[in-house]
Amino acid sequence: MTLDVKICGVNTPDALAAALEAGADFVGFVHFPKSPRHLSVEAAGALSGEVRGRAGKVILTVDADDALLRALVDAVSPDLLQLHGHESPERVAAVRATFGVPVMKVLPVRTSADLASVPAFAAVSDRLLFDAKPDPGALLPGGNGRVFDWNVLHGLDPGLPIMLSGGLDPSNVAQALASVRVDGVDVSSGVESSPGVKSAEKIFAFVRAARAARRFQPPVEGQAS
C-alpha cells in the first residue's frame, strides 16, 4: 500500500523547494488570515506556480464562500480543495459540484463519538482527513501541534482514502502508522522551527520517517493493507 505525504502550510519558496526535493506527494497552501501560514490569493498563485507538476497542489480554506474559492481555484489550479471549517455535507457536495475539483474534508477527532459524521461526509468527499479536535474557542482549527488517540480510527473503512494529521512530526509518524492504517499523513507545525516557519531539515526527516515506516511495517491487524 502506498502512502501519500502532504506538507501543509507551505508559504515560502524555500519551504516549497524543501518539500518538493524531499519527495512530498502533496503541498498545501493555507488561505486563512488567522493562521501564521496564511497566503493571500496572489501569493498562493505565485508560489503554486513553482510546483510545476512535481506534487499535487492543495488549497486549505476555512468556511470559504464561493467567491473566495473561485479566486483561489483560478489562481492556484489546485488538485485538491481541503475544507477545514464547519462545512456541512451539503456544502461539501456543493463545492465539489461547483468547482469540479476533488475535495478533502477535515474532520476533528477527540473520541470515537466524533466519527459519527464519517458516513455523511464520505458520501460527498474524495478524501477525508482526521485532525486533532481543537479546544472550544481555539484560534485555529488545525496546525496546533496536538495529537489525538490514533487508535480511535482502528478498523475504520469509509470507502475512500483517508489521511492522518494532528501533532505529527519526524519522531512520532512511525508510531502513528504502526497504530492505524491510513492512506496518507499530513504535517504542518511538526516540521517548523517556529509557528509558520518551515524547517527544511524537519521536512526531509518527516518524509524519510514516513516512507520507512510504511515500507517496513506489516499491516495493522483488522485493517486492510
pLDDT tens column, 187-212: 999 999 999 999 999 999 999 999 99
Helix (H, G, I), strand (E, B) or coil at 205: helix
Q: Which residues of 184-196 are buried (b: 16+ CB within 10 A; e: fewer)?
A: bbbbbbbbbeeeb
Domain boundaries, the chain: 4-216
| pLDDT value, residue 217 | 55
- The x, y and z cell numbers of residue 220, run together, are 495493522
| pLDDT value, residue 136 | 59
Indicate the average pLDDT of the chain: 92
Under 8 Å between Cβ of 61 and 72: yes
pLDDT tens column, 176-192: 999 999 999 999 999 99
User: Rounded CA gap, 124 and 144, in Å?
Assistant: 27
pLDDT tens column, 143-175: 557 789 999 998 899 999 999 999 999 999 999
The pLDDT of 22-35, averaged and rounded, is 97
Query: Which has more pLDDT, 17 or 136?
Result: 17
Residue 224, pLDDT > 50, answer no
| pLDDT value, residue 2 | 87
| pLDDT value, residue 222 | 45
User: Rounded CA gap, 39 and 98, in Å?
Assistant: 23
What letter would DSSP give residue 27? E
Residue 36's pLDDT band (boundaries 50, 70, 90)?
very high
Helix (H, G, I), strand (E, B) or coil at 65: coil
The pLDDT of 74-84, averaged and rounded, is 98
Residue with cell 455523511: 120
Give this prediction's pTM. 0.92
| pLDDT value, residue 133 | 87
Fold type of domain 4-216:
TIM Barrel (3.20.20)
What letter would DSSP give residue 218? P
